[in-house]
Each structure stands twice: as C-alpha cells, then as structure tokens.
C-alpha cells in the first residue's frame, strides 16, 4: 500500500518520471534550465509564466514562474534571479534560483557563455488532502513542511545573431525528497538538457525559426521537443511543436509594444492520457527593459 501510494502520488502524476517542470515555450526564457543564458540579450529581461497541465485531471501539475536576467554593464558577466512554484497533487514545491554567467567573445560576432545556478527548494506535502481509504497507514501521518533542499547547476550557451546552442544540468545534486523509513522514497535525479535553434530571414517581413530541446534523465525515456515558429512584421508569431510520443502544441505570440511580448501555447496529448484531460495551457509575458541598439542583438525568438 505504501509503495503504491508514493509511486502514484509523486511519480505517475509527474508525467512518467517528470521531476522538473516542463515548458512548451522554453525558447523565450532558457534561463529556466540554462544559467549561461543570463544576460545574453544585452539588456534587462523580465519573464513571467503560468502553465496548467492536463486540465480536468485531479492533481495535475500547475507551474508558475517569474524571473529576470541582465548583464552587468561594461563587463562579461550576467546574472538573473527566478522564483518557481510547482504544484502536483498534494505536493507543493517552491524554488528560488540565482544564475551567474561569464561570456567569451569569439570570431564572427559569436559568443560562448558559461553559467552556474544555485537554488534553494522548499518542499511541502500535505497527505491530509488525500481521500484516505485506510487512514491507519503510517505513511499518511507524516506531512512534509518546508523541507529545505539546496542544489547547484551548470550550463554552456553558444550564440550569434541568428542561432544558438546550449547544454546544461540545472540541478547536479541527487537529493532525497522523501523517505518513509527506507520503504518508499523519492530521489531528485539530475536532468541534462540540450537545446538549439536558428532564425532564417525568409523575406523582409517574415522570419522562420526551428528549435529543439531534449532532456535526458536516468530511469526515464528520452524527451525531445521540436518546434517551428514564424514571425510576421516583427509583431505576430505563430507556430507548432511536437513532444516526442507525448503531445502536439499550437503556439502564438504578439509583440504588444517594443518592450512587451505576450505568448500562449496549447498542448493536446497523443497518448491515452488524452482520454482523461482536455489539454494543457501555457501563458507568458516578457518585458524587455533598458534596451539599446548594439552590434549584436539576439532576435526576439531567443
């Protein structure tokens, strides 16, 4: 009973091993998984995202994130701060992260950045919210309140005016999140991310960008996301994405002002899970502040 309960509660609801939140529109704020991205735009960028996954399924993941990153003027250093809340079933976890990057300038206006991420996680699990068919189970009596879990991560990010490639491990340390006297336990395993994308100018007012992100973690299948986006007149973005053996997505965005961009994504499952939910929604806002013209300015796509 104990082992079944823990597996269902903390693994099955987490998308077959999904321990870190997943994002459909990762390309707009890679600092979520790669600290080396911090400051790469050359100006201050503020990002807010809300994702509700598998709508209609009790206990499905809900994720909220707000972050900013910026370069330090007249230096090769960038930094960022983010706050993330991930809620799955009776588990609620908040993460506060600080990113620091150092950039090397290469030939042909290319740059290579190294990043380090330090994070603090606070884990809460309230078993009282479960429908308990056997209240006498000992595992149901031990709530977890603000369990502190520190971690550290690293990343590499190579980019120029129209393309990028990154590799990162946002949480290097294997930490034990839950242990019921060694009868049932959940360990946070490190995830390795690879990402890349390129912007093509199809005409004077039309840009096309294919992109990908892959996630590798021990004990779970390879996750691969492929996406394509078109930008019209520097204002409107439409696109589609495919998560390997999991879902397909429709993407849209609008440049409201020179400093404000808003985006939306909708996922529908391609697995049997689609019989039990009505899809996933993802909404984000991006504010670009103190933006100045420069020789290299990363396109709005990334």
Cα separation, 93 vs 229, whole angstroms: 32
Cβ atoms of residues 215 and 191 within 8 Å? yes
CB atoms within 10 A of CB 129: 11
Q: What is the largest CA-CA distance in the chain?
A: 68
**Coil, helix or strand for 35?**
helix
Give me the residue spans of the domains in the chain: 2-289
pTM: predicted TM-score of the whole model, two decimal places: 0.86
Among residues 79, 118, 67, the alpha carbon closest in space to that of 97 is found at 118
One-character DSSP codes across 151-214: EEEEEEEEE-SSEEEEEEES--S-EEEEESTTSSEEEE---EEEEEEE-EEEETTEEEEEEEEE
**Superfamily of domain 2-289, CATH level 4:** monomeric porin ompg (2.40.160.40)
Provide the residue-wise pLDDT of the chain in tens; the chain has 302 residues. Answer: 343 344 334 443 344 445 678 899 988 999 999 999 999 999 999 999 999 999 998 889 999 999 999 999 999 999 999 999 999 988 899 999 999 999 999 998 899 999 999 999 999 988 777 766 666 565 556 788 888 999 999 999 999 989 999 999 999 987 766 555 444 455 667 789 999 999 999 998 999 999 999 998 877 778 999 999 999 998 999 999 999 989 999 999 999 998 999 999 999 999 998 999 999 999 999 999 876 654 444 445 67
Among residues 78, 13, 288, the alpha carbon closest in space to that of 5 is found at 13
């Amino acid at each position: 009973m104990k082992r079944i309960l823990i597996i269902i509660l903390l693994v099955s609801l987490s998308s077959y091993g999904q321990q870190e939140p997943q994002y459909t529109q990762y390309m707009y704020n890679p600092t979520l998984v790669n600290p080396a991205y911090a400051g790469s735009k050359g100006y201050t960028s503020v990002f807010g995202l809300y994702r509700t996954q598998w709508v209609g399924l009790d206990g499905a993941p809900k994720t909220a994130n707000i972050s900013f990153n910026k370069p330090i003027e007249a230096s090769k250093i960038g930094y960022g701060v983010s706050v993330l809340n991930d809620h799955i079933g009776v588990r609620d976890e908040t993460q506060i992260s600080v990113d620091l990057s150092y950039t090397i300038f290469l030939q042909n206006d290319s740059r290579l950045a190294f990043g380090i991420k330090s994070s603090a996680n606070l884990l809460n699990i309230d078993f009282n919210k479960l429908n308990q068919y056997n209240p006498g189970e000992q595992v149901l009596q031990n709530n977890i309140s603000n369990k502190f879990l520190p971690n550290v991560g690293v990343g590499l990010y190579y980019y120029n005016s129209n393309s990028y490639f990154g590799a990162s491990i946002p949480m290097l340390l294997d930490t034990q999140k839950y242990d019921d006297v060694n009868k049932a336990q959940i360990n946070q395993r490190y995830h390795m991310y690879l990402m890349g994308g390129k912007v093509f100018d199809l005409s004077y007012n039309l840009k096309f960008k294919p992109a990908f992100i892959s996630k590798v973690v021990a004990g779970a299948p390879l996750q691969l996301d492929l996406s394509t986006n078109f930008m019209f007149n520097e204002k409107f973005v439409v696109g589609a994405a495919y998560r390997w053996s999991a879902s397909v997505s429709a993407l849209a965005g609008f440049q409201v002002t020179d400093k404000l961009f808003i985006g939306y994504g909708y996922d529908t499952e391609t697995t049997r899970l689609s019989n039990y939910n009505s899809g996933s929604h993802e909404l984000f806002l991006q504010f670009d502040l103190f933006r100045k013209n420069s020789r290299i300015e990363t396109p709005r796509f990334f």
